[in-house]
Structure 1
Amino acid sequence: MVKKFFERLTNWELWPFAVIYFPISFVWIWYIVRSRAVWFFTPSNPTIDFGGFEGEGKKEMYDQLPPHTVPRTIYIMHDLPFDDVKKRIAAAGFQYPFIVKPDVGMKGILFRKIDNEEQLHKYHERIPVEYIVQDLIELPVEVSVFYYRHPAQTKGTVSGFIHKELLHVIGNGEDTLQQLVQKHPRAKHRTEEMEHRHAHRFDRVIEKDHIFYLSYAGNHNRGAHFTNLHAEIDEQLHKVFDELSNYSKHFYYGRYDIKTTSIEDLKAGRNFLILEYNGCGAEPNHIYDCNMRLGEAYKEILKHWKALYEISKYNHNNGFPYWDFAKGYRFIKQSQKHFKLLQKYD
């Protein structure tokens, strides 16, 4: 326990979000003062609710991307009779396994891989909100690309490019799942989550060389491991994301989560699918897992906040006003209520 505590204390990447961001929060407050708007970021992506800071639905995001770049997706109301759910899924051509997740979700909460009808039934009975059924994309390479573009320009900046590896353990034929979790450098710091998700499997000995995925969500807060691909950022990559940004007309600031056959194919604009577009609430997650000192991470975050402020200010002055305080307050309260509900059922 002492060793684990010391590891968390000395590795800033393991600190709580609020602790990491508190020292630079005055800069965010300064942007609020300069723009005279608490929700100064809302025009950053004006066709997404709240600019994509939080609480936006996936449908509004998918509808603004080229159809061939997004996975097959259908939307299911949580109170639909299960027989009708099965009919809708069959009519859309889905076969097990596939992915389910809330239409309005965050941080990988209630993200599940569904292998059979029994799992689907349990998920449908449990989830309290509308959710999506989506193809399980098994392309071998998962990446995130952070991109921003000033609205007055046609070319933007790819500021971050990372490879993502899902949280997993590899069996040795001797240790139980619980023992493997306790030995894993990341999973051991997520004891409560691992117990919640996998306690019923903890006594299982994982066969040698078998990969057991502890989470299918490629998020830092779900324990995914990132590898910085900054050296791969070039004119080809910029061209792909300039085209995507201009296709959707008003995607100016955010992060694309993508699966592809290879980095080379992504740069050539082929063989990739966009799993998510995260708007102005997206963290520049390329600050993690690249041996950045905390000061360097702050410098990167502040660079992105400056771009966010400038994009939002321009759009505010050109037909997309800041949300007023009351509208934003109502939205964020509803979003927080929704988030707490999802956490309760995760």
Structure 2
Amino acid sequence: MATGPHCERSDVAGATSLAGPVDGGVGGLMRWQRLAVSRWVRLTQWEYWPIWAIYLPVFFYGLWLAVWHRGATVFSAANPGMPAAGGLVGYSKSAILEGLAGAGDAVATWALIAPGAFPERNAAVRRFMAEHQLGYPVVLKPDLGERGSGVVIAKNAAEVEVVLRTEPTALIAQAYVPGVEWGVFYVRRPGAAKGEIFAITDKRMVHVVGDGRSSLERLILNDARAVGMARFFRQKFAARLGEVPAAGERVMLSELGTHCRGAMFLDGAALETPELVQAVEAVSRQFEGFYFGRYDLRAESTEAMQAGRFKVIELNGVSSEATAMYDPKHSVWFGWRTLCRQWRIAFEIGAANRRAGARVWSVRELWTLLQEQRKA
């Protein structure tokens, strides 16, 4: 089933401190205490739980769906136009972006950078940027990556070089879209006149604010939200933990709208507008054989997004999560209901497409696909 929290998830909401500002760096006792708090947060807040704990009830519900629909893998026909069993796992991002070619400017400009020697790949990135009159930053990400793995927002040519030299596989170069990011989960029943938005995730980037005295490590450990991702952030900023940000200086801890890379997910259902629904529908209709999945969208503001003025940066298939469920206000029961409902819809859409002649992947084929992804 859908991928869960394989890596650390974050609830960072801002710079609310659990303790008053303390001069200097972090002592051994203070560090131990705050890391103990981090472990407690991860134990008691369900969005940090391991995948088996979140998906165990959903697995048993999936067994019932398999019996009801007379096929354990019916969901693999939910998106006949997508590779890898409808976008289950290990799929090519470029193949999916190609499926959205008819959406034109609604999709952030991109190009596939093939494997090869550094000079040729570097020249390909430069041609892409020149052709579309792009400056830095530029986004580089693995064509087969998942959950934000390997995604880099390269701010200059030197950072591009590091990525190209360390990542030998096929990459996607994409225009960086500043502003806010949302996850919009779309579903459409085969034969229906139009689809609907199943869930909206309001993605928030994480930051702490300097006080002119505390080190970056202390700011992270004292932050009521960032402490839940303390291990991840301490590794990410290992070379800067001793720095003391100036008073009022905002230090961004995350820059990608990925939960396991530090972003906070809020339920944005109340932000849905007819204009947003219409724009998402128009984009979705350009992808033949797409019925079920989550868009990652960016826009200059929430108001622009609500007006339907956005850029698609990615589209995920049948393994998508309605990530709005990870809003801290929601209980694990809400999460389980959401997951069960979305998988019921995936099975129903797959069954309808099966009746229309769409291919259903066999259990053996899916097992092979999953094993190949595990080795990658």
Same fold, TM-score > 0.5, yes or no? yes
How many Å apart are 1:290 and its aligned residue? 4.9
Kept in 2: contact 1:156–1:242 (CA 8 A): yes
Distance 1:136 1:316, change over 3 A: same
Question: Which of 153, 169, 172 does residue 132 from structure 1 map onto?
Answer: 172
Instruction: Please tell me whether residue 52 in structure 1 is matched to residue 92 in structure 2.
Output: no
1:232 aligns with 2:232: no
Kindly report which structure 2 residues correspond to 1:43-82, keeping only aligned pairs within 5 A, or say none.
43-49=77-83, 50-65=85-100, 66-78=103-115, 80-82=116-118
Give the structure 1 partner of residue 190 of structure 2.
151
Q: Does 1:107 align with 2:141?
A: no
1:169 aligns with 2:200: no
**What amino acid is the match of 2:322?**
P
CA distance in 1, matches of 2:308, 2:39: 44
Matched position secondary structure for 2:172:
strand
Where does residue 40 of structure 1 map in the other structure?
74
Q: Could you tell me which residue of structure 2 aligns to residue 181 of structure 1?
A: 220
Partner of 2:157: 117
Question: Structure 2 vs 1, CA of residues 186 and 40 (structure 1 numbering), >3 Å: closer, same or farther?
Answer: farther
Q: Deviations over 1:138-194 (max 9, x none)?
A: 1x2211111111012022221212221123322222222222221233432334432
Q: Could you say which residue in structure 2 is the equivalent of 1:86?
A: 122
Residue equivalent to 1:322: 360
CA contact (8 A) 2:200 2:268 kept: yes
1:154–1:246 contact (8 Å) kept in structure 2: no
CA distance in 1, matches of 2:357, 2:63: 24
Alpha-carbon deviations, 1:186-233, whole Å to 9, x = none? Answer: 432334432432211212222333332223221222221123221222
Counterparts of 2:345 and 2:216, CA distance in 1:
44
Residue 36 of structure 1: how far off its partner (Å): 4.3
Separation in 2, partners of 1:273, 1:27: 35
Residue 342 of structure 1 corresponds to none
Equivalent residues of 1:168, 1:211 under 8 A apart: yes
Distance 1:88 1:6 in 2: 47
Relative distance call for 1:281 and 1:198 in structure 2 (3 A) is same
Deviations 1:221-273 (A, max 9, x none): 22211232212224333222222222212221111111113344334333x10
SS of 1:178's partner is helix
Q: Secondary structure at the match of 2:74?
A: coil
Task: Assess, with a 3 A threshold, how the Cα gap between structure 1 residues 269 and 234 changes in structure 2: closer, same or farther.
Answer: closer
CA distance in 1, matches of 2:328, 2:242: 34
- Residue 133 (structure 1) shift: 1.4
| Cα distance between partner residues in 2 of 1:333 and 1:128 | 21
Distance 1:218 1:109, change over 3 A: same
Cα 1:310–1:135 change in 2 (3 A) is same
Work out whether 1:281 is the aligned partner of 2:323.
no
Q: Measure, in 2, the Cα distance between the counterparts of 1:229 and 1:265.
A: 14
Q: Which moved more, 1:10-19 or 1:180-189?
A: 180-189
8 Å contact kept, 1:167–1:222: no
* Distance in structure 2 (CA, Å) of the matches to 1:4 and 1:195: 12
CA–CA separation in structure 2 for the residues paired with 1:255 and 1:158: 9
Q: Percent identity?
A: 28
* Aligned length, in residue pairs: 335
Determine if the alignment matches structure 1 residue 303 to structure 2 residue 338.
no
Structure 1 partner of 2:56? 22
Shift of 1:20: 1.5
Confirm or deny: 8 A CA contact 2:184 2:296 kept in the other structure.
Answer: yes
TM-score when scaled to structure 2? 0.83
Kindly state the Cα deviation for residue 277 of structure 1 after the two structures are TM-superposed: 0.8
- Which stretch shifts more, 207-216 or 321-330? 207-216
Match of 1:153, as an amino acid?
A
CA contact under 8 A between 2:81 and 2:287: conserved in structure 1? no
Q: Which structure has more RCO (C-alpha within 8 Å, separation ≥ 6)?
A: 2
Runs (5+) with no aligned partner, structure 1:
339-346
